[in-house]
């Protein structure tokens, strides 16, 4: 009884309610689930960069810095895209279209969070990681969001470079230099991004058409997009062989990635035959499971090879 009263009083107190809502809204600007998966790939990059365990302080400050920078980029994207987002059913309820956060508040949040992230990387990790993370931040927040997204149906292919950076950033945080193997991890995510996004886009193309965004299914139709999902899937499968062929990863990786790839190919072929929203959304969901498991497999393989 006592507890229920406290909860009711707090929830009906406008000051308290306002405060709680604001925190949620700022968090809503950060695309937390996407950033969480990016941090998984960055953490794996950190582990693969060394034969020992990576230093705890580098892992902590590195992941925090990369996470803050990615959240900042996501918040800028919400500001840049606010008029697009209010026209699309999927994004209509984001903090800016709902009027929960003003664009100045969102920009200030992005500036504070982004500066903290980059400063942390520069001072507590290493300058190269800070520069590369800043380049990814600008790549997504400015080059992709402000320009490419509205300019060309190849928007997400080029923009994918920024999204693919986290494993490289994690690697550089530990090694301090750019090494070829780290680029392989980036290449895998780069080739994965088009099937990841276009499968969602097939299901949501009317949203994008309404908002006037030139996504591939809007400009070139379903069939062209279905074909390109299959082609990029084949490219992605090829890139996933590189860690094994370059002897960065061993047999456990090869076995795991073959199973994951078989399922990805099965979804791509299903979507090729049937571009219904149900099938393409199922492929989109699998693409997320796939990228998480692929990085877990890379990690397991790394320690199996080292310790067995
Ligand atoms: C430029 C490249 C990318 C594009 C264009 C893209 C596009 C999208 C879109 C439109 C969504 C739906 C978001 C929503 O409904 O709010 C999404 C969801 C998601 N993406 Fe991507 N993505 C990209 C890169 C990545 C990368 C690199 C990762 C992780 C390594 C990732 C992980 C995820 C996850 C986990 C979700 C699900 C989020 C949720 O359920 O709220 N994406 N992506
Ligand atoms: C520093 C660093 C690693 C930066 C990467 C930043 C980052 C969070 C990239 C996310 C990629 C993503 C979810 C794109 C969605 O496309 P969209 O914005 O067109 O999709 P929407 O329609 O859902 O807004």
Tokens of 295: 């990085």
**Mean pLDDT, residues 105-132 taken together:** 98
**Mean pLDDT, residues 123-134 taken together:** 98
Atom of ligand 1 nearest to the CA of 204: 10
Residue 37 has pLDDT above 90, yes or no: yes
pLDDT at position 307: 75
In this predicted complex, what is the ipTM? 0.95
pLDDT at position 4: 37
Nearest partner of 144 among 119, 126, 165, judged by Cα: 165
User: Quick one: three-class SS letters along 203-238?
Assistant: HCHHHHHHHCCCCHHHHHHHHHHHHHHHHHHHHHHH
Tokens of 283: 């492929």
Domain residue extents for the chain:
1-178, 179-308
96 Cβ neighbours under 8 A, 6+ residues apart: 78, 79, 82, 85, 86, 102, 103, 106
3 pLDDT tier (thresholds 50, 70, 90): very low
pLDDT at position 15: 43
The whole-model pTM stands at 0.93
| Other Cβ atoms within 10 Å of 179 Cβ, number | 15
Ligand in closest contact with the CA of 97: 2
Segment 160-183, tens digit of pLDDT:
999 999 999 999 999 999 999 999
Ligand in closest contact with the CA of 82: 2
pLDDT at position 22: 79
Q: Ligand 2 centroid vs 140 CA: distance in angstroms?
A: 6
> Which class for 20: exposed (0-12), middle (13-18), buried (19 or more C-beta within 10 A)?
exposed
Fold that domain 1-178 belongs to in CATH: Tetracycline Repressor; domain 2 (1.10.357)
124/144 Cα distance (integer angstroms): 29
> Please, what is the angle between helix 166-175 and helix 127-138, to 10°?
170
Q: Is 120 in the pocket of ligand 1 (CB under 6 A)?
A: no
């Amino acid at each position: 009884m006592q507890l229920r009263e406290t909860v009711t009083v707090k929830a009906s107190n406008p000051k308290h309610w306002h405060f709680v809502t604001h925190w949620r809204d700022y968090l809503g600007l950060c695309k937390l689930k996407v950033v969480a998966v990016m941090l998984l790939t960055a953490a794996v990059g950190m582990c693969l960069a060394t034969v020992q365990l990576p230093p705890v302080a580098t892992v902590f400050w590195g992941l925090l810095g990369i996470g803050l920078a990615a959240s900042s980029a996501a918040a800028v994207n919400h500001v840049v895209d606010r008029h697009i987002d209010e026209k699309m059913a999927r994004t209509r309820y984001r903090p800016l279209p709902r009027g929960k956060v003003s664009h100045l508040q969102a920009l200030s949040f992005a500036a504070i969070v982004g500066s903290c992230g980059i400063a942390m990387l520069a001072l507590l990790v290493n300058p190269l990681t800070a520069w590369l993370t800043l380049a990814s931040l600008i790549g997504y927040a400015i080059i992709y969001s402000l320009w490419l997204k509205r300019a060309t149906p190849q928007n997400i292919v080029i923009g994918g470079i920024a999204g693919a950076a986290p494993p490289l950033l994690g690697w550089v945080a530990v090694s301090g230099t750019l090494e070829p193997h780290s680029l392989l991890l980036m290449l895998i995510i780069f080739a994965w991004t088009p099937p990841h996004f276009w499968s969602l886009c097939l299901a949501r193309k009317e949203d994008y058409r309404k908002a006037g965004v030139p996504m591939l299914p809007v400009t070139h139709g379903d069939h062209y997009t279905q074909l390109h999902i299959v082609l990029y899937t084949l490219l992605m499968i090829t890139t996933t062989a590189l860690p094994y062929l370059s002897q960065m990863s061993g047999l456990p990786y090869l076995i795991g990635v073959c199973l994951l790839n078989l399922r990805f190919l099965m979804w791509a072929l299903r979507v090729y035959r049937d571009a219904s929203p149900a099938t393409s959304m199922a492929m989109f969901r699998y693409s997320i499971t796939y990228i998480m498991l692929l990085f877990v497999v890379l990690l397991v393989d790394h320690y199996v090879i080292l310790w067995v």
